[in-house]
Amino acid sequence: MGRFSIPLLGFLVLCCLALVSEATTYAKYKDSKQPLSARIKNLMNQMTLEEKIGQMVQIERNVATADVVNKYFIGSVLSGGGSVPAPKASPETWVNMVNEIQKGSLSTRLAIPMLYGIDAVHGHNNVYNATIFPHNVGLGVTRQKIGEATALEVRATGIPYAFAPCIAVCRDPRWGRCYESYSEDHKIVQAMTEIIPGLQGDLPANSKKGVPFVDGKKKVVACAKHYLGDGGTTKGINENNTVINLNGLLSIHMPAYYNAISKGVASVMVSYSSWNGKKMHANHELVTGFLKNKLKFRGFVISDWEGIDRITSPPHANYSYSVEAGVGAGIDMIMVPNNYKEFIDDLTYQVKKNIIPMSRIDDAVKRILRVKFVMGLFENPLADYSLVNQLGSQEHRELAKEAVRKSLVLLKNGKYADKPLLPLAKKATKILVAGSHADNLGYQCGGWTITWQGLGGNDLTTGTTILNAVKNTVDSSTQVVYNENPDVNFVKSNKFTYAIVVVGEPTYAETFGDSLNLTISEPGPSTINNVCGAVKCVVVVISGRPVVIQPYLAKIDALVAAWLPGTEGQGVADVLFGDYGFTGKLARTWFKTVDQLPMNVGDAHYDPLFPFGFGLTTKPTKN
């Protein structure tokens, strides 16, 4: 035995050194002191094809379990619109759910944490009791920064990734997503990309252009969407075709992406729409050639929900082609969101057969890992309860109220300029509040609130309706009478001092909101006619876009565009009654008739009812 001892000892030493070396190599990517590129390289060198493809997959919460993310090495999970762990779930319940799934990721061989994403498009809008800010159509009026508060409320529920902001330039209000757009003017949309540092944190001074940045546990990964031309489709038809030359595409729809990338946006979502007949989800020239190569974007590109499926018509008709075209175009993370096994199998097959080169997979994984490392997800993969009190906090509601006040646009004030109706007197004998939207929190919030399409009524979440805000604001001696749809006799016989009529659109999201007529919901027009024909009235329009108002304008004494103000209806009353003045200006052209559309500022045929930039002002009063 003795003559074997020295070689055996040497062999054991070598084994130990190899194990130590392997352990050291293995741990390098977990060391936050290492340079970013070294961490990415070290981790990718250890990853199998299966592990790499898993990083590219985003699945829906309802198919995600700790076992699924563990078995398939899933890189990301999302909540679609209205996808919640339980009705009216508390932030603690959300944190527990996200952590439970995360534990599946952390128990894989390399323990790469998954990234949980959610649509937080006007505040943390899927979550009960969250502050619901005005939709973007109103914020484009205010140039208001809401990002920081949204980031805190999203993190309060354990989620580090928000699919916001939408930097679409809506060129036709017939589009059902027009309320997700800040303006028809790309310059306003560019200014509103300031929400990105609110969500992600301020980019450090020495940052390289295009490199993503997320400043720790109180910030979230943002997502500029939908790339590119989503707001320019023919007749505003959702997911349709944007017919425009390259110069038009780059000068109208692209500029806000320059700003987003220079502010370190960590992800970009591709649009369902096409550009001159070519699906954006299959557009290699614009996704890889322009966004990644020319603009030097170094974050990851994500598909929209079943976005690659919709490359074909009908969707999912040739899924292997969709996988090849979508991944080949340069999409890094695929929002599958349900049939993940089919996606994984198809992509694995295509890589093994050299249909999709390994370099394309490595590019995708490198980008996803870069964001996960930059945001500190490896150091802090599990959420805690430390931010739960941020959800729906009073401070955030005050901010939302301020945003509402600044978003309101006064379009008419009195039938004669020298006799304004607004601000309204708080002290009056008896006033009427009428209209389908006066006491309806759901209508105030619009789509993408608690559910995907939004909900009518007052029990969807917590907030203040305009009716309650009026009651809170008027003098205690003023009698407030609420009648949703009064007839003329009721109005005439009651001798009201004045009336507030609140009407508008129903809730909707995406294609369900596409409209060729843009009318106020019934019985809104008859409520306007019955009330405004009999008593001095201010009409407040709750809508996601300009709507047909010209036929009623002569009867109306004062007209206010309130857009979709969210949960803080008090902001509307604050300005109606003069505690604050009207300051908002239209970030969208208000048309006379729909047959003028599309009609945007600068067009040769520009003949609006109220032009872009219009807005009467009032001064605050003490009354």
121 domain residue, yes or no:
no
Whether pLDDT at 142 is above 70:
no
157-161, 204-208, 275-279: least confidently modelled range: 204-208
Q: What was the pLDDT predicted at 623?
A: 58
Domain contains 173: no
| 43 pLDDT above the threshold of 60 | yes
For the chain, percent of residues with pLDDT exceeding 90: 94
Range 572-599 average pLDDT: 98
Tens digit of each residue's pLDDT (9 = 90 or more) over 365-414: 999 999 999 999 999 999 999 999 999 999 999 999 999 999 999 999 99
Query: d(Cα 177, Cα 338) in Å, to the nearest integer?
Result: 24
pLDDT value at residue 27 = 80
The widest CA-to-CA distance across the chain, in whole angstroms, is: 117
The active-site residue out of 230, 510, 514, 557 is: 510
Structural domain includes residue 178 = no
Across the range 553-569, mean pLDDT stands at 98
Q: Does the active-site annotation cover 510?
A: yes
pLDDT digits (tens, 9 = 90+) for 293-344: 999 999 999 999 999 999 999 999 999 999 999 999 999 999 999 999 999 9
Domain count, the chain: 1
User: Helix H segments across 458-547?
Assistant: 466-473, 488-493, 524-532
Tell me if residue 180 is catalytic. Answer: no
Q: How much is the average pLDDT of 154-168?
A: 98
**Average pLDDT along the chain:** 95
Q: In this predicted structure, what is the pLDDT of residue 144?
A: 58
What are 209-259's pLDDT values in tens digits? Answer: 999 999 999 999 999 999 999 999 999 999 999 999 999 999 999 999 999
**Residue 120 dihedral angles phi and psi, to the nearest 5°:** -115, 85
Determine whether 22 is exposed, middle or buried from the number of CB atoms within 10 Å of its CB (0-12, 13-18, 19+).
exposed
Q: Using 50, 70 and 90 to split pLDDT, how confident is the model at 140?
A: confident
In a domain, 560, yes or no: yes
Q: Is the pLDDT of residue 24 over 50?
A: no
Asked if residue 242 belongs to a domain, the reply is no
CATH number at residue 604: 3.40.50.1700
Give me the domain span that covers residue 487.
394-610
Which pair of structure tokens corresponds to residue 238?
């959702």
Q: What are phi and psi for residue 549, nearest 5 degrees?
A: -130, -15
Catalytic residue among 51, 119, 153, 304: 304
This prediction's pTM: 0.95
Residue 27 falls inside a structural domain:
no
With respect to residue 171, please indicate whether it lies within any of the assigned structural domains.
no
State the pLDDT at residue 1.
44
Determine the Cα–Cα distance for residues 113 and 93; give it in Å rounded to an integer. Answer: 20
Whether 300 and 364 have beta carbons less than 8 Å apart is answered as: yes
Strand, coil or helix: 199:
helix
Q: What are the residues facing 559 on neighbouring strands? A: 412, 539
Separation of alpha carbons 537 and 555, rounded Å: 9
Decide if 563 is inside a domain. Answer: yes
Res 26: pLDDT: 55
